[in-house]
Structure 1
Amino acid sequence: MVDARSAARLTLLLALAALLLLLAPLPFSGGVEARAAAVVLPAGRALRDLTRPASELLLNAGQVRSLSAENAALRRSVARLEAEAAALREANVATAQVSALLQSAGADFSRYRAAAVVAVDPAPGRRTIVVDRGSGDGVASGQAVLGPGATLVGVVSSVETHRARVRLLSDPDSAVAAVVQQSRVQAVLAGGGDRLRLDFVPVDAAVHKGDLVLSSALGGRLPGGLVVGRVSAVTSRAQDLFAKVAVEPLTDYARLEQVLILVDAALPAAGATGADDSGGDSTGGPTR
């Protein structure tokens, strides 16, 4: 801002200018004008230099406000575009996952409903998920749920109009009929954490590490021959009636994002091995 000294200089300049106007008609005014100009011009330049920063500051302030508004608009546009790009990438990932699931399930796509996992049961020890398909899509309790590679990952336990809850095979309350492919030994596949186990396997049964475990037809409620996992360990003692058989799932249940629900189980299931009397799933097995 212009202080008192600057105001005094301005007043002096105005007085000199008025004096020059009054003396202009006189014959000796030329010399006076020259001497006055010698005084006024430097003072005028000093005043101009003094006031220039203030004027430039006002001009720059307007430009800064304009640039700030433009930058804010650009940031909003960039954020919106990034969100749209992320959504598009997620849609592409989901499409690729569903496509892979359908390809592994076989050509008869009408038997299945693709569903996205929308929630996971947070309760300790529980292994259930919620998917975005329900009774309005033909989903019903007891239907098989498949994961990558057409592997059996769970069974529909309850249904709403547009949602369904799936009990994974690893849930402590899960128990389905199963068969060891190589030896045809029937057993009950039970959950209980990250690994599965086969219950009621005779201690002398020919079950070995690496054997493939499938669903069994003994329950009759689900199609047979669905791949579940591989035997990862077999332990027993001489006095035991049943061996302890651990099964490693072929699918990481914690990473499920898209699944297939088998809504029509009238035909042989995808991934069936063609066994004579094996290949089914049962939700009516022992439940703990």
Structure 2
Amino acid sequence: MLEFLRKYRTPLTVLGLLLTALLIYSANLREKPRTSAVERTVLTAMGPLLRGVDAVTGSIGQVWTRYFWLVETARENERLRAENRRLRAEFKTHSELRLANQRLQKLLGLRQEAGLNAVGARVIGEDASSLFRTVVIDKGRRDGLREGLPVIVAEGVVGRIIRCAEREARVLLVTDASSAMAVLVQRSRARAICRGHGNGLSMDYALLQEDIVPGDLVLTAGTGGIFPKGLPVATVLRIDESKYGLFQTIRLVPAVDFSRLEEVLVLLDPQP
């Protein structure tokens, strides 16, 4: 302690004198109507010190205020970002529900317009192999389904049920290589057999003299006991005529986009 006092003796003495002068000035402030020479000297000496203290305290106050402002701003920004994420998630959910509702409305309109006895189902799986073209739906025997029932959407024919459990069923798509159905051309009424070949369709056994052109709509013929007559199947893409054969080779574009298949209608047996 003594070492500290000896080391800072001069600054402490000056500070003590200034404080003493300030106390004397404060005590005599109310008693003297005029400012004395000593008081003027004290004011002159204390001025720079007080201005420095005021500047320092003012800067500290501004820094402190700015710190709290930045903290609050950061919290508000984080809250706004969280709110934005929530609203965007809700928007995506509502958009998906709106699109699903539109698809279901189309299926419902189809069922009511055609007076079909049908059950709506959702696609919950698809065959991942390149050998088969099948999907799995979330309805089964407890919903009145069985093997052989046709499956459609508003755009056209999807396929038929080949396996059926209590709660699920597997649907063979019309594009599968083992799928075939009787069809007719809507415009000319020419008849043929539509076959699947993986990613597309072809129409076989259409006679050379039949009037078939690209763009013609191909419908189910209603024979074979599976698909009712008049359902859209495909559109004629191109025709390869053979000079020596009896039939035309016709490539078709399916009416249904199977890559976007989500909800379907299963046509049940006609009600007695």
Does structure 1 residue 251 correspond to structure 2 residue 256?
yes
Displacement of 1:40 after TM fit?
1.0
Normalising by structure 1, we get a TM-score of: 0.71
Note the residue ranges of structure 2 that are not aligned, 5 or more in a row. 1-9
Q: In structure 2, what is the equivalent of residue 277 of structure 1?
A: none
For 1:190-217, what per-residue CA distance to the aligned partner results, in whole angstroms no more than 9, with x for missing partners?
1124431123x16446252255433244
Displacement of 1:131 after TM fit?
3.7
For 1:69-116, what per-residue CA distance to the aligned partner results, in whole angstroms no more than 9, with x for missing partners?
222122212221222122122212221222122223334767222334
Does structure 1 residue 79 correspond to structure 2 residue 79?
no
Stretch of structure 1 that moved more, 118-127 or 228-237 = 118-127
CA contact (8 A) 1:208 1:233 kept: no
Displacement of 1:222 after TM fit?
3.9
Larger RCO, structure (CA 8 Å, separation 6 or more): 1
Does structure 1 residue 105 correspond to structure 2 residue 111?
yes
Q: In the alignment, which of 202, 208, 212 is matched to residue 212 of structure 2?
A: 208
Does structure 1 residue 46 correspond to structure 2 residue 49?
no
Query: Cα distance 1:25–1:109, how it changes in 2: closer, same or farther (>3 A)?
Result: same
Does structure 1 residue 94 correspond to structure 2 residue 96?
no
* Aligned-residue identity in percent: 29
Query: Cα distance 1:212–1:34, how it changes in 2: closer, same or farther (>3 A)?
Result: closer
CA RMSD, aligned part only? 3.6
How many residues are treated as equivalent by the alignment? 256
- In structure 1, what is the Cα distance between the partners aligned to 2:38 and 2:258? 101
Displacement of 1:146 after TM fit?
1.4
- In structure 2, what is the Cα distance between the partners aligned to 1:73 and 1:25? 56
Normalising by structure 2, we get a TM-score of: 0.75
Q: SS at the partner of 1:223?
A: coil
Q: How does 1:35-184 map to 2 (within 5 A)?
A: 35-107=41-113, 111-124=117-130, 126-149=132-155, 151-180=156-185, 182-183=188-189
Note the residue ranges of structure 1 that are not aligned, 5 or more in a row. 1-7, 268-288
* AA at the equivalent of 2:269: A
Q: In the alignment, which of 251, 266, 286 is matched to residue 270 of structure 2?
A: 266
For 1:15-54, what per-residue CA distance to the aligned partner results, in whole angstroms no more than 9, with x for missing partners?
5123432577799994323211211122111122123323
Q: In structure 2, what is the equivalent of residue 276 of structure 1?
A: none
CA contact (8 A) 2:190 2:206 kept: no
